[in-house]
Amino acid sequence: MASERETKKLVANNKKAYHDYFIDETYEAGVALHGTEVKSLRMGKCSIKESFIRIENGEVFVYGMHISPYEKGNLFNKDPLRVKKLLMHRYEINKLQGKIKEKGYTLVPLQVYFTNGKVKVEVGLARGKKLYDKREDIARKDMRRETEREFKVKNLN
């Protein structure tokens, strides 16, 4: 069925989250937005680098998600750093709330993207990395980069 194929257009990616946290599980959530915010997202003007997610009164909110004001939106534009509500199923929210009460877990937005015309946020259930874990990751990346470089040099000769 070609018509039911999901098209995913990436708007924003949070690379810093993968550096600072171990991502254990991911969830997809919708976002309650206004019209001009959606238009701005379609133009790719979004940042989630400094954003975080909280659960309050059984509802999920994303803080610090910056959506630039739409140029032609004038008085309809909302505050770029407005707190936005995430739309998730009740059982998912309850499961996340239980996990967050455990030591060291937090919720982090990983990606903002369009799926079939709707704005979605990929929410990651994350544990914080210690400094030595980050160093280990950097060392692993350097080794991989070095072996790729050596491989490239061998194949050129």
| pLDDT digits 0-9 by tens, 131-144 | 766 787 788 888 88
Nearest to 83 by CA among 38, 31, 127: 31
Q: In the chain, what percentage of residues exceed pLDDT 70?
A: 89
Position 102 in a domain: yes
Q: What DSSP line would sit under 56-104, residue for residue?
A: ETTEEEEES-EEPPPTT-GGGPPPTT--EEEE--HHHHHHHHHHHHSTT
Nearest to 41 by CA among 74, 83, 9, 6: 9
CA distances from 31 to 90, 120, 122, 150 (A): 15, 6, 10, 45
Position 142 in a domain: no
Contact 66, 82 (CB under 8 A): no
Position 11 in a domain: yes
Question: Mean pLDDT for the chain?
Answer: 79
pLDDT reported for residue 1: 41
Rounded distance, CA 56 to CA 120, Å? 20
60-75 average pLDDT score: 78
Position 60 in a domain: yes
Position 24 in a domain: yes
What is the pTM (predicted TM-score) of this model?
Answer: 0.70
* Token pair for 66: 């910056």
Domain count across the chain: 1
pLDDT reported for residue 16: 79
Write the CATH number for 32: 2.40.280.10
Q: Which domain holds residue 31?
A: 2-129
What pairs with residue 53 in β-bridges? Answer: 62, 107
Contact 41, 67 (CB under 8 A): yes
Position 155 in a domain: no
pLDDT reported for residue 82: 78
The dihedral over CA atoms of 145, 113, 12, 39, expressed in degrees to the nearest 10, equals 150
Confidence at 33, pLDDT banded by 50, 70, 90: confident
Q: Is pLDDT of 127 > 50?
A: yes
- Tens-place pLDDT, residues 72-119: 766 666 666 778 888 889 888 888 888 888 777 888 888 888 888 888
Confidence at 2, pLDDT banded by 50, 70, 90: very low
Q: Is pLDDT of 60 > 70?
A: yes
Length of the chain: 157
SS3 label, residue 34: coil
Position 146 in a domain: no
Most confident of the following: 40-44, 74-78, 151-155: 40-44
pLDDT reported for residue 77: 67
